[in-house]
Amino acid sequence: MTQGHRPLTGKVALVTGGGRGIGRAIATELARGGASVAITYRGSQAAAEALAVELNQAFDVAVRPVLCDVREASEIERAFAEVKDTMGAVSVLVNNAGMTADNLVMRMSEEAWDDVLATNLRGTFLSSRAALRDMIRARGGRIVNITSVVGVSGNAGQANYAAAKAGIIGFTRSLAQEVASRGITVNAVAPGFVMTDMTAGLTDEQKEGIRQRIPMGRYGEASEIASVVAFLASDAASYITGQVINVDGGLVMA
Ligand code: NDP
């Protein structure tokens, strides 16, 4: 395949939860841009392996599926070591892995709270910490955290998820300040609603209700999230840090 402009050539990207949904689109966009890409998965081994072959063939870049439960520090350390040994030190980290376990607070179990906080927020912290050592040594790097518009707006039935996503925003801005002088940028992308497995459980009525609140009148495509992540990962975004970019068809304007 002929390659056009490849702004991410030479970069080594790690996308958590890259086997399906938005993470899959992000991994694809980064590979298209010329980056080597590590796709981490927890349950979706077959999907991650198939995507790695597909992207390698399509874009002629190294793509590696890597097992990693982002809730576990030891797994994160092992995954980063594996990537460093086989692909080189990570220069672009995308914290995409996430989950929901919706319920009203009154009925929410501690497990649902802990699991959602651990996957979305603790996972983002652990992966970022693991990536920083080499980024600081390299005097450069990019961290992009996937939050959500509900981290700002809140959402009934998603207090755990909204708290985790709001936490990611505070984490992003704090880390951005800690590492700005090292040439590392840390930003967040806040999708509105995108049809993936995560949103598949909504009823048709809920889907239509949400659609009507979106000024652009439609759901987002995973590729529309991915293109913003790829931009933030590129040298073109070198002076942007500590920002939260909403990609939501105008749903939240603040
Ligand atoms: P999906 O449910 O389709 O995919 C979730 C991904 O996260 C999977 O790749 C899954 O990996 C991974 N994952 C979940 N738990 C873990 C874990 N413990 N360790 C490692 N990986 C894990 O969700 P989306 O693609 O929709 O969501 C991607 C991100 O975008 C999430 O952070 C989500 O919160 C956010 N987002 C999504 C929106 C939407 O409308 N879809 C809106 C706003 C934000 P595996 O399959 O291998 O287990």
Q: What is the pLDDT of residues 19-73, one digit of tens each?
A: 999 999 999 999 999 999 999 999 999 999 999 999 999 999 999 999 999 999 9
Catalytic residue of the set 41, 161, 219, 239: 161
What pLDDT does residue 24 have? 98
- Tokens 């996503």 locate to 165
Nearest CA to ligand 1 atom 28: 22
Contacts of 118 (CB under 8 A, 6+ apart): 71
> How far, in Å, from the CA of 24 to the mean position of ligand 1?
10
Look at residue 151 and tell me whether its pLDDT is greater than 60: yes
What pLDDT does residue 5 have? 83
What pLDDT does residue 195 have? 94
Look at residue 251 and tell me whether its pLDDT is greater than 70: yes
Look at residue 91 and tell me whether its pLDDT is greater than 80: yes
CA 148 to CA 15: how far, in whole Å?
17
What pLDDT does residue 3 have? 61
- Tokens 């920002």 locate to 243
Q: Report the candidate in 144, 122, 125 with the shortest Cα–Cα distance to residue 247.
A: 144
Look at residue 254 and tell me whether its pLDDT is greater than 80: no
Q: How does pLDDT run across 109-125, given as a tens digit for each residue? A: 999 999 999 999 999 99
CA 128 to CA 93: how far, in whole Å?
7
Nearest CA to ligand 1 atom 31: 98
Q: Report the candidate in 81, 70, 91, 185 with the shortest Cα–Cα distance to residue 134.
A: 91
Mean pLDDT of 146-155: 97
Mean pLDDT of 206-225: 96
Give the pairing of strands 141-146 and 92-95: parallel
Ligand 1, residue 17: give the atom nearest the CA: 9
How confident is the prediction for the chain on average, in pLDDT? 97
Distances (CA, A) of 5 to 2, 54, 56, 59, 63: 10, 20, 17, 12, 19
**pTM of the entire predicted model:** 0.98
